[in-house]
Amino acid sequence: QQQQQQQQQQLLPETYPLPPHTFAGQIEQALVAKYGTTANIDRVLTSWRFMEQGYVHKEFVGDNNILDDPEHSKCHQLAHSYFPGLTVKEFWNPNDFFWSDKLRKGYSHIRRELEQNLSSMKWAGALTEDAQAYGKGWKTLVLMNRGMWDVDNVKNLFPKTSNIVRQSGIPAVEVFFARLEAHSDSRWHSDFTSFVLTCHLGVIIPLPNESCRLTIGDTEVAWENGQVLVFDTSILHKAINESDHDRYILMFRMWHPDLTNTERQALQFIYDALEFPGLLSLEKTERQEAERAVQQARSFPLLLSGSTTTGGAGFGASSTINKKKKTS
């Protein structure tokens, strides 16, 4: 793994400070001002600069000792929100994460609440061209997006589920239910973001389990009710439901465990600034208003009102950001 990372670093393009008059440059300046020396957030700045210059990281991350011909492997990482120096592998052991057992223990409550709300849920399909690879059978309902809770869905539909998620301690960036309709699939695709991992909790999995399968790179697994999977969706992957019934999971994007606490905070600040550009204002009053708005949006919303919008875990695919930007 260390040798692979050293080889990878040699292939990365050089980066330079962003022009301070641009929106992306203002975010960079705010990061340095907020988190001190660039050494604390050097990898965050590199990732941000990669995105701004339109860099897309493409790398074979499989095992050369097993595969004679990597060209016939699907174990390739594809990321335009790329963060250097992180461990890359298809599946992670869920038992290595303390919160996985808490999610498993909350399974029966989560399933019961989902079953109670199935008839009233307003599912959303793919919202961007990149997401079209998920297929027409893929639908979602958001509880959290980029660290900000969806107030309506949490309060009116899933208060128990949301509270279980909050109390589990999972370092979630996004939380949403995902439906894969009967006899549907998704084609090979990447989620394009390397600094988050993906977690699935099987909620309603049709029997036999083998009819609903997930493939990450060169490894295929079947979902199971009440069980947790953790994997890297910056690696090419696909899913299929060959059963006569819809498949439902509770899905999470979570911070990669190799990130430091400061790096997580800096990445979250980028998300917040994309949603609330007032954080970058030179006027103290405007900046404080934006800070209050962020605090409210990220607070657990059982006592709040209003709604947040939905987006995606990555920074965005555009090579130039000069205004408030949102992607899904």
Check residue 301 and give its pLDDT.
83
Flag whether pLDDT at 308 surpasses 50.
Answer: no
Burial of 77 (0-12, 13-18, 19+ CB in 10 A): buried
Enter the DSSP assignment of 97: S
Indicate the helix (H) or strand (E) that contains 290: helix 284-298
pLDDT tens readout for residues 310-322: 446 787 643 334 4
Could you read off the pLDDT of 242-298 as tens digits, one per residue? 999 999 999 999 999 999 999 999 999 999 999 999 999 999 999 999 999 999 999
DSSP tag of 162: H
Q: pLDDT-based confidence at 69, cuts 50/70/90?
A: low
Q: Which residue has the tokens 């408030």?
A: 324
Question: Per-residue pLDDT averaged across 151-156, rounded?
Answer: 94
| Per-residue pLDDT at 283 | 96
Lowest mean pLDDT, pick from 60-74, 78-92, 157-171: 60-74
Share of the chain above pLDDT 90, in %: 77
Q: Are 206 and 240 contacting, i.e. CB atoms less than 8 angstroms apart?
A: no
Return the biggest CA–CA distance within the chain: 61
Sheet of 57-60: strands edge to edge? 57-60, 76-81, 192-193
- Give the global pTM: 0.89
Q: Which residues contact 98 (CB under 8 A, 6 or more apart)?
A: 169
Angle at CA of residue 49, ends 43 and 53, nearest 5°: 145
- Quote the pLDDT of residue 200: 98
